[in-house]
Structure 1
Amino acid sequence: MATTLPVKISFSLPDGWQAAPPDEVGAPGAAFVALHPLSIDEGFTANITISGRMRNDSATMWDIAGESVQRLAEAGTVEIVKKSEVGTPDIPGLTDSPGVVQNLRLSTTLRGEPLELLQSQVYLGMEDVKNPAKRAVVELVLTAKPTQLGDVIEDFQAFLRTVRPAEDTPA
């Protein structure tokens, strides 16, 4: 079942991307999924997913990114290609604290056939101003085959620049 984000955010999808129901496209843990239909390659469509959850522990963004690697390793082989800190200039409106971006190479299977995928994962935290021990963690992920990445990576970067906390509208 699709989830909801612990915080409200706003964003804009680049041209060529279409929202899709998470449950219908095999991403039940996601709050939002966007597909790039023009990139379909042997049955796989490049996609962006957004998910998030509340964290009440002392895990750093680096720890949380590492947890993702461990989860993905349960379904195949995972190689960390690059991992770095990302600050507010890259995603200016969402958080004042640094996040983590990691790029992964995944070897898994799709319908019984071997599949190599690349993921760019961005983890951002937003602390509760009333209780700093509580924070929301938002995960923004691009998944593509190596043959698709060149067609969609700039779109993902443009998408990231639009992510902001949602403005609460007065009642």
Structure 2
Amino acid sequence: MAMTLPVPIEFLPPEGWFPADLEKADATDVAFAVVHPQPDAGFAANITVDGEYRPDTATLTELADKSVERLRNVADSVVVTDCREIGSPDAPALIQRLVFSVGFGDARRELVQSQVYLPMLDVADSREWAVVRLALTATAAQHDTVLGDFQDFVRTVRPGTGTGI
């Protein structure tokens, strides 16, 4: 079963991308995922959404560092090629780009992952906050081609009024 985000959000998936079957993919740590319709070398670019409550005072940079460490447990040669805070004090965010290698059967794939971290207050309890992570994962060859779709997707993400995705 897919995870439930700690705060509700609303967004528009990129046109032409289709929902991933999270149960079939055993993606219990993801709340939402879409897949690009044209795989590259057998790998389908995907966009995932996950998040967690943050009861501590961890910075966005510290959360991004933890994400890198988790990826190093399942991938080879993880390199952070960009990591910077963006936005304003009222609407901060962090973007990070990772390059890494993973094995698929007998083949290795060079992948690129662009991540966006968005802190959000809980609309039901403004003393609580969460961080929502949006991630695009694609082959190195396809990443720049699908990056515009991801950027358009990120621009549509906003706090929701319901109980989650």
TM-score (norm 2): 0.89
Identity %: 45
Number of corresponding residues: 161
| Larger helix proportion of the pair | 1
Structure 1's unaligned 5+ residue stretches are 89-94
Task: State the structure with bigger RCO (CA 8 A, min sep 6), 1 or 2.
Answer: 2
What is residue 60 of structure 2 aligned with on the other side?
61
Superposed CA RMSD: 2.0
Moved over 2 A (4+): 25-28, 127-132
Q: What aligned pairs does 1:47-86 form with structure 2 within 5 A after superposition?
A: 47-75=46-74, 76-86=76-86
SS in 2 for 1:25: coil
TM-score (norm 1): 0.86
Q: What aligned pairs does 1:4-153 form with structure 2 within 5 A after superposition?
A: 4-38=4-38, 40-75=39-74, 76-87=76-87, 96-128=90-122, 130=125, 132=127, 134-153=128-147
**Separation in 2 of the partners of 1:23 and 1:13?**
19
Is the 2:47–2:136 Cα contact (8 Å) retained in structure 1?
A: yes
**Separation in 2 of the partners of 1:138 and 1:160?**
11
Structure 2's unaligned 5+ residue stretches are none
Is the 1:46–1:144 Cα contact (8 Å) retained in structure 2?
A: yes
Deviation at 1:25, TM superposition (A): 2.9
Q: What amino acid maps onto 2:72 in structure 1?
A: A
Q: What amino acid maps onto 1:81 in structure 2?
A: T
